[in-house]
Amino acid sequence: MKSLELKKTIYSEVASITKALNNANRLEILDLLAQGAVSVDYIASETGLSVANTSAHLQVLKSARLAESRKDGKHIFYQLASSKVFETLCSLRGLAVSRNAEIGRLLEDFRTHPGTLTSVSIEELAGLVEQDEVVVLDVRPADEYQTAHISSSVSIPFSQLQERISEIPAGKKVVAYCRGPFCLMADEAVKLLLAEGVDATRMEKGFPEWKASGLPVKADFF
């Protein structure tokens, strides 16, 4: 194979990966897979896609070696193929925010409620946890918490937060977290908590970033 032909072949292989990423639904699915191993049915329910459509997107991601699957009884579970996939997803999000001002504007408009613009970094939260100065609140769905979560966190899914707010220990600041920087469940939780007089903020990123930083997590399977 001549050098020019080889170069075109290599770029074609690279393009197959970028083609798999060139779809909003598949990017959202990758965000879910970053939480841990999840079933096709769960992905469909969380994204609002049909099971058939979800399966088709997952096959594209699997063919591009961005996702992998395993069977457990009657269910098929998918997860990211490697940590490199998550690193790529983070880089893509960062590039999008830096080059597309509309993304930042949309997030800022959503977070205009007083107090919701504040957040703590992963490093800051780790320090607060070590000093036992905060309640770390996981507001993702319970299935994701059971799969893997920050070791010191308590689970109250956002959909149940209004009814279970009394379960949050009094007298400490609450830091909510969810799936990542584009996930808005933590923002919604902070708005609700602030309205109820609870001192609350969100972790600026999400569970996958915490795990990638090598900080303590508990996991059933990941």
Q: Could you tell me which residues come within 8 angstroms of residue 208 by beta carbon, excluding any fewer than 6 positions away?
A: 34, 35, 86, 179, 180
User: Which CA distances in Å does 133 have to 68, 119, 138, 171, 211?
Assistant: 39, 15, 16, 9, 21
* Three-state DSSP state, 180: coil
* Three-state DSSP state, 39: strand
- Is residue 40 within 8 Å of residue 78, measured between CB atoms? yes
> How is residue 197 written in tokens?
């007089």
Options 38, 125, 178, 186, the catalytic residue: 178
In the β-sheet with 134-138, what is the strand arrangement from edge to edge? Answer: 119-120, 200-203, 173-177, 134-138, 154-155
> How is residue 63 written in tokens?
């063919």
DSSP type of residue 169? P
Confirm whether 90 is a catalytic residue. Answer: no
Active site residues: 178
